[in-house]
Structure 1
Amino acid sequence: MEVELLAAALRRDSADLDLYANVLLASLADSLPPGAVRVTRRRSVADRVAGREGSVAELDVALGEQRLSLRMDRGRVTGAVCHEVRGIVLSRRPMGLDEWIDTLARSLAGVAASNARAREALERFLA
């Protein structure tokens, strides 16, 4: 699987951060095993009254011992890649959105190369 194609698919709609986070969340949640994608939402009073879920505040993607985190705060995005073993973070490397997307694409391609089920899920994601 080409990493560049996967990265381009992950970059779609990244200009509008809230839309991007929701699209990425839905796409990854459908493509990866249950529990691999975690989301934290920020709900305002207006969101609660209207029954809305709120905006995505944090998105975590767990791929083996690697956890990729994306945090949105007042229009700013910060990404990080963590090396995590049994729930303990051994290292954390902050990065910008573009580097985070490239890292996510490489990680997803690596998982797909070694796992037929993950490969099928990513092919559905790209379709």
Structure 2
Amino acid sequence: MTSPNDPIDLLAAALRQDAADLEVYARVLTGTLADALPPGSVAVQRKRGMADRLAGREGRVERLEVSLGEQRLVLNLSGGRATGEVCKEVRGVVLSRRPVALDEWVRELAVAIATRAESDARARAALEKLILGQ
């Protein structure tokens, strides 16, 4: 059993914070992760309607992919619901895919960021930023 002060649990709670409103959650998550993780680690696909184009907005996040090491975490937000997928990937080839619920996807993401933070100063700063909410 983990303690309430476990960094993984704290990070998962921080990542889960705005999950009630998927659009807000996706916006916060993509911005935070893109700023915090190494370049190329986060890929975002957006759906941009005519109103978004006219207003100069980026559009709604449809899909988020986070690649850290041999793990790729995919979050699909189309259709107003979130579905997650955890993939093991080696040299661009996906060896396995596992569909997961949002809570498990968030936990896997927290573990991947914490593992990366052990050896990467930028990921460590991201971990602190997510946990402390700065």
TM-score range with shorter-chain normalisation? over 0.9
> Residue 61 of structure 2 is aligned with which of 52, 56, 60?
56
Counterpart of 2:24 (choices 19, 22, 25) is 19
CA contact (8 A) 2:68 2:116 kept: yes
Alignment of 1:64-79 (within 5 A): 64-79=69-84
8 Å CA contact 2:36, 2:122 repeated in 1: no
Q: How well do the aligned residues superpose, as a CA RMSD in angstroms?
A: 1.3
- Quick check: which one's strand share is greater? 1
Identity %: 60
Partner secondary structure for residue 13 of structure 1: coil
Aligned partner of residue 123 in structure 2, secondary structure: helix
Tell me which of 31, 34, 37 is aligned to 2:39. 34
The DSSP-based 3-state class of the residue aligned with 1:3 is helix
What's 2:118 paired with?
A: 113
List runs of 5+ in structure 1 lacking aligned partners.
Answer: none
Alignment TM-score, normalising by the size of structure 1: 0.93
What TM-score, normalized by structure 2, do the two folds share? 0.89
Indicate if the aligned counterparts of 2:84 and 2:102 stay in contact, CA closer than 8 A. yes
Aligned length: 127
Residue number in structure 2 paired with 1:86: 91
SS of alignment partner, residue 62 of structure 1: strand
Deviations for 1:98-119, whole angstroms, at most 9, x for unmatched residues?
A: 1100111111111112333321
Query: Could you tell me which amino acid in structure 2 is paired with residue 100 of structure 1?
Result: W
Q: Which runs of 5+ in 2 are unaligned?
A: 1-5
Match of 1:10 among 9, 15, 19: 15
Q: Shift of residue 11 of structure 1?
A: 0.5
**C-alpha distance in 2 between matches for 1:71 and 1:30:** 20
Q: Secondary structure at the match of 1:120?
A: helix
